[in-house]
A and B are shown apart, each in its own frame.
Chain A
Amino acid sequence: DTGVSQDPRHKITKRGQNVTFRCDPISEHNRLYWYRQTLGQGPEFLTYFQNEAQLEKSRLLSDRFSAERPKGSFSTLEIQRTEQGDSAMYLCASSFSRAGAGELFFGEGSRLTVL
């Protein structure tokens, strides 16, 4: 399968714990995005990388959220000191920069439940 893959698919954690999600984009894509989707809502943009550079991070929800893409390939999203309000689906997407805006390929998501 050459699509966007995310790991883990499901994560249950206790409040206050740290969690990390991994995203492997489509190999030839140089752009990578993180979105969050809560119940009954559409996905909400969090952050965006072009190669290893994080070009937009002002939408990260708080300083407890951070993302990296160290070698311009896979990316990680970390949430420190989780809160119950962090429970959501975290979506990763990738694209090729020469494609038109909005042509993103999404993974199946990582569902976080904070108890």
Chain B
Amino acid sequence: DAKTTQPNSMESNEEEPVHLPCNHSTISGTDYIHWYRQLPSQGPEYVIHGLTSNVNNRMASLAIAEDRKSSTLILHRATLRDAAVYYCILSLHTGNQFYFGTGTSLTVIP
């Protein structure tokens, strides 16, 4: 399985930026980096994905290291609704499987 490493948990204060790190040292040249989040009692929700360049959308930004061995999901202003488990995933060019690790549980403090 393609491996990603994330901290088990993180905390953030409400309305402050959050940087969620992910290491993926075994990434190959055409593997994509995806982020999903899972709120309690819901299915995972797509957040963002990218290949090499940094990506922005309405939910978050994805910063990808130049060597692509790590990435950071940035929530610009955390809200209480952002409390969730965040998964960093590699989707392999050699197949169509998305392997989820254990993710980072984000707690947002009011």
- Co-assembled chains A and B: no
> Chain B: residues with CB nearer than 8 A to chain A?
none
Chain A contacts to B: CB under 8 angstroms: none
